[in-house]
């Protein structure tokens, strides 16, 4: 029954038994219709939340108490004018880049021959890099869902200090964020190299299913490291929950960006590790 359902899902995604014109039409529709509709729906929810909160957060200095008499400004025109300026600047940069930098177009697509290496777009390369190190179920389903759930939960954690509108919350938060980013940047590349050439948990534990040895165990190890790190910074640096959550976010984000960079510039034919100038 499971295999039959899987076949139905595959056919629905492909638009048939094989990848073809129907597949392109399906994904084109997803990109041009479904995703924009979801974005508009999320924007509507965001604006509703802003109205419910009676405005946008006004940044204040660290240690300054919130006051019901704090000066508020209207979203229109103050926020809208700033967002419009940023949007116009971004469009100008993109247009200038498109005019001055040639697009790295390759040969025409050939359905009978995939390029080597076959890489995802850069914004998915972090996930493709994870696929090289973890079981697919955990790399592209469990971990992304866990990260999305954690991001959704961040605003609802029981914070004791209100740091809304304050970058990094405090000097301690800023210092911990810098340390977390540097640590992730220093740790991620060596771990990738070790996993490529040394670490092979499935062969070390052949009696375990691959989903456990190459999925659940690494996930538990990552969770244990994060848990221990949170406990240490809260005890050693007396970090608040705000600062601890921010530190974990910076650590994971920097690690994921590093994985993306490795996948884009340090993966060659067969997705083997290579130097960028040696590809």
- 45-67 residue pLDDT tens: 888 887 777 666 555 555 555 45
Q: Are residues 147 and 272 in the same domain?
A: yes
- Domain assignment of residue 160, yes or no: yes
Task: Note whether 139 and 23 are same-domain residues.
Answer: no
pLDDT band at 9 (very low <50, low <70, confident <90, very high): confident
H helical segments located in 53-142: 80-100, 125-131, 136-137
State percent of the chain over pLDDT 90: 26
Please indicate, yes or no, whether residues 39 and 83 belong to a single structural domain of this protein. no
Q: Same structural domain for residues 192 and 257?
A: yes
- For residue 62, being part of any structural domain is answered with no
Per residue in 222-260, pLDDT tens? 899 889 988 888 888 888 888 888 899 999 999 999 999
- Domain extent for 87: 73-105
Instruction: Please list, in sequence order, all residues whose beta carbon lies within 8 angstroms of the beta carbon of residue 119, skipping any fewer than 6 positions away.
Output: 125, 128, 263, 264, 267
- Average pLDDT (99-128) is 81
Same domain (yes/no): 91, 156: no
Q: CA 263 to CA 241: how far, in whole Å?
A: 33
Q: Is the pLDDT assigned to residue 208 strictly greater than 80?
A: yes
Dmax over CA atoms of the chain, in Å, equals 67
Q: Which two tokens stand for residue 170?
A: 């405090």
Same domain, 41 and 122: no
In a domain, 60, yes or no: no
Residue 252: per-residue pLDDT: 92
């Amino acid at each position: 029954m499971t295999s039959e359902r899987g076949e139905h899902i595959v056919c629905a995604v492909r638009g048939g038994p094989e990848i073809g014109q129907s597949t392109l039409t399906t994904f084109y529709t997803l990109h041009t219709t479904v995703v924009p509709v979801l974005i508009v729906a999320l924007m509507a929810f965001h604006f509703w939340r802003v109205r419910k909160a009676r405005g946008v957060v006004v940044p204040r200095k660290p240690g300054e108490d919130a006051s019901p008499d704090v000066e508020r400004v209207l979203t229109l025109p103050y926020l809208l004018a700033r967002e419009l300026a940023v949007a116009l600047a971004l469009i100008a940069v993109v247009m200038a880049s498109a005019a001055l930098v040639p697009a790295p177009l390759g040969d025409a697509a050939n359905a009978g021959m995939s390029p080597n290496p076959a890489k995802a777009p850069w914004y998915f390369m972090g996930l493709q890099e994870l696929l090289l190190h973890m079981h697919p179920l955990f790399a592209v389903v469990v971990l992304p869902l866990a990260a999305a759930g954690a991001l959704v939960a961040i605003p609802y954690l029981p914070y004791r200090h209100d740091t809304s509108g304050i970058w990094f919350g405090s000097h301690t938060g800023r210092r911990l964020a810098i340390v977390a980013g540097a640590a992730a940047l220093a740790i991620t590349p060596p771990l990738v190299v070790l996993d490529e050439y040394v670490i092979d948990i499935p062969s070390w534990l052949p009696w375990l299913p691959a989903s456990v040895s190459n999925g659940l165990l690494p996930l538990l190890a990552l969770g244990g490291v994060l848990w221990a790190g949170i406990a240490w910074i809260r005890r050693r640096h007396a970090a608040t929950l705000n600062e601890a959550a921010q530190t974990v976010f910076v650590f994971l984000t920097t690690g994921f960006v590093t994985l993306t960079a490795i996948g884009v510039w340090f993966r060659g034919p067969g997705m083997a590790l290579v130097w960028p100038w040696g590809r």
